[in-house]
Chain A
Amino acid sequence: MDIFTAIVQILDSTIRLSVPLLLACLAGLYSERAGVFDIGLEGKMLVGAFAGAAAASVFHSAFLGLGMAILISVVFALIHGFASITHRGNQIVSGVAINFIAAGSTIMLGQHWFQQGGRTPALAPGERFEAITWPGVDAVRDVPIIGPIYSELISGHSILVYIAFLMVPFTWWVLFRTRFGLRLRAVGENPAAVDTAGISVAWLRYRALICTGILTGVAGAYLSMVQNGGFVKDMTAGKGYIALAALIFAKWKPVNAMFACLLFGFLDALSIRLQGTPLPLIGKVPVQFMQALPYVLTVILLAGFIGKAIPPRAGGVPYVKER
């Protein structure tokens, strides 16, 4: 097979695989920048995926599905906020709890409502997000180099893919060019200063968590309504944790986050592609090694061997007003 076509195909699946990571990673960016650790990204994606697929198949509308995914995911984000902001509970513990509740309730309710062993019914064409074909694809398809790149790589994805990548500059703009973003970053570094300035720390952190919920909802909807035509139990399969790893890898910056997610997506695509085929020089690489690579890379980064990842200073610490 033509090596160029192979590369384009791998890059194409890289994009598809990195979209849920990217959305979840940006979601984590909002909450962690505001000083709230969130290891419940996984659970929020899962409830988003379930709510999206369930609503889409009941109401026969992809957009209603997306809306429901966002709504339920935001509700879970608010539970996290209620525990960790209002009641100053341990943020890690709260995140773990959310992952458990999400894993259990999606299967229970799915089984109760649809009787398909925890699955939702397969989504019909109108109920899921279709690929968008860009203008002029047929005309340039046969042009060498540019043709495949335009028709395979750039065109032919669903709307959520483009939204995910547009969220990168948007998030950058919100965090670094708006008043809300400035305050959000400040509340993650020094909440006492924000409080002194007369701005509510709790309300700011709640708003950050709502942003998180919206994005994890979209990420979940992508999983169940684009990548897969319906919800399957435990379909996030650790993606929330990889997104967390990507967030650290990106040193809590939006543009870096995109590259980190593309890298992890690429590793994933490569490991699927290389299954069983020996590489030149190295020989046969075990699939498990490729699967573990994102985590290993993150640990190496955390150890300070590839630059230093410095988290927001107030991250993980509930804010207590002195009295």
Chain B
Amino acid sequence: MSTPYAKLPAWADYGLIPVINLFVAFVVAGFVVLLVGENPFRAAVILVEGAFGRGTGIAFTLFYATTFIFSGLSVAVAAHCGLFNIGGEGQGYIAGLGIGVVCLAFDSVLPWWLTFPLAIIASAAMGALWALIPAYLQAKRGSHIVITTIMFNFIAASVMVYALVGFLKPASSMAPQTRTFLDGAQLPKLNWVIELFGAKIRSAPLNISFLLALVMAYLVWLLIWRTRLGYEMRTYGHSSKAARYAGISEIRIVIIAMMISGALAGMMALNPTMGDQHNVALDFVSGAGFVGIAVALMGRLHPVGIVLAAILFGMLYQGGAELAFEMPAISRDMIVIIQGLVILFAGALEHMFRPYIQALFASISPKAVGIEAVKGKGA
């Protein structure tokens, strides 16, 4: 298939276009704020102040961002291999089962720094397992990965209800959640890092899994751009035919990519369970898997972009909570609308402004968009 759009300079492609798309999404969101009778500019100020104005706000923003880094990386790894993993929600949810079992078994015997690696392995393994079946079906039997991963989201939800009600909750309790984890399965807080800079923090759940998320972002970068496996994944993502011609095993690469993606999605369960609530409860993922799609799209599938986009969405979550508190007409559902708009403008409509920007660049400097290359000198 022909490429419908010519090239732009890298800074415009990775910087300018996402910023313009984001701006348009926020303008439309501003109209929604206007529709419910509030001042969008004041709303924006409250949002940003709530997220970054005080130490507690920053800690909460980074806490939310932690989960989104994992889910964004998960979507990105699959996307580099040309696969759309929409099942991060289910993979993260089912990982709660692994975490629950590990924590309930070891929290009274082991210190946190031994439980944590075990829980990481358990969550990654459960997430990878939940991605394995759709991956296998895609690679081997050609069933569409989007549909199977959606189906697996729902199956995960049923399995988790069954597990929580059936054997994870204490027999004496009615609530479908595990008992509170003991000290051995509670992750240490990271709030002191922010306090180093002089800010005061009243109990925020920012914890050590934030560092794990950053490590994972680095490892994903290493994997995608510095290893043979990553090269094979990108090749397959660009053209499955070329990959096959180059002798890359289709089944192997799809399954490996999806399992890595699933493992990353699974790890996002660590933050809300061991880091914040100290239990595994019903529906603890609460949409973070889907936010990962927006984060990955905003971050242009690059780990650095994903970390920045995750912080942006963390800001929306934290600032949105403040906004709902300050402006009664605006509920937390405003965040859901903004997310939707960001996905729409940064994802589905990402090419909307491109022709105009291209025309603009071409009028300023034809060389920048590669028009000169045709004359025979080469780019």
Contacts and interface: CB of A to CB of B under 8 A. Distances in A.
Interface in B66-112: 84, 86
B331 A311 contact: no
Given A104-B333, A288-B161, A322-B2, A112 B155 contact: no
A299 interface: yes
A241 interface: yes
Nearest to B142: A304
Contacts of B133: 299
Contacts of A88: 4, 351
Contacts of A302: 137, 141, 143-144, 147-148, 151
Most chain B CB within 10 A, of A96, A107, A112, is at A96
A288 B158 CA distance: 5
A93 B36 contact: no
Interface string A1-35: 00000000000000000000000000000000000
A69 interface: no
Most chain A CB within 10 A, of B133, B151, B330, is at B151
B32 interface: yes
Interface residues of A, number: 52
B348 A108 contact: no
A89 B350 contact: yes
Given A88-B351, A244-B147, A299-B151, A109 B162 contact: no
Contacts of A311: 144
Chain B interface SS verdict (over half) = helix
Contact of B151 (A92, A99, A295): A295
Given A39-B146, A105-B32, A90 B347 contact: yes
A296 interface: yes
A103 B343 contact: no
A112 B144 CA distance: 40
Interface in A82-122: 82-84, 87-94, 96-105, 107-109, 111-112, 118
Interface stretch (B224-232, B233-241, B248-256, B334-342): B334-342
Contacts of A291: 158
Contacts of A292: 154-155, 158-159
A112 B329 contact: yes
Interface in B326-377: 329-331, 333-341, 343-344, 347-352
Chain A interface SS verdict (over half) = helix
Contacts, number: 155
Given A39-B150, A105-B32, A292-B154, A100 B290 contact: yes
A305 B33 CA distance: 50
A108 B2 contact: no
Contacts of A94: 344, 347-349
Given A100-B340, A311-B144, A83 B348 contact: yes
B335 A104 contact: yes
Contacts of B343: 93, 96-97, 100
Most chain B CB within 10 A, of A39, A102, A112, A296, is at A112
Interface in A108-151: 108-109, 111-112, 118
Contacts of B86: 39, 92, 96
Contacts of B155: 292, 295-296, 299
Interface of B: 1-2, 4, 32, 35-37, 84, 86, 133, 137, 141-144, 146-148, 150-152, 154-155, 158-159, 161-162, 166, 290, 293, 297, 329-331, 333-341, 343-344, 347-352
Q: Closest 7 CB pairs between A and B? A: A100-B340, A104-B336, A94-B348, A101-B340, A104-B337, A302-B143, A89-B348
Given A87-B349, A101-B344, A108-B331, 15 more contacts: A89-B348, A90-B84, A92-B86, A93-B347, A100-B339, A104-B335, A105-B333, A112-B35, A118-B333, A299-B155, A302-B147, A302-B151, A303-B137, A303-B143, A320-B1
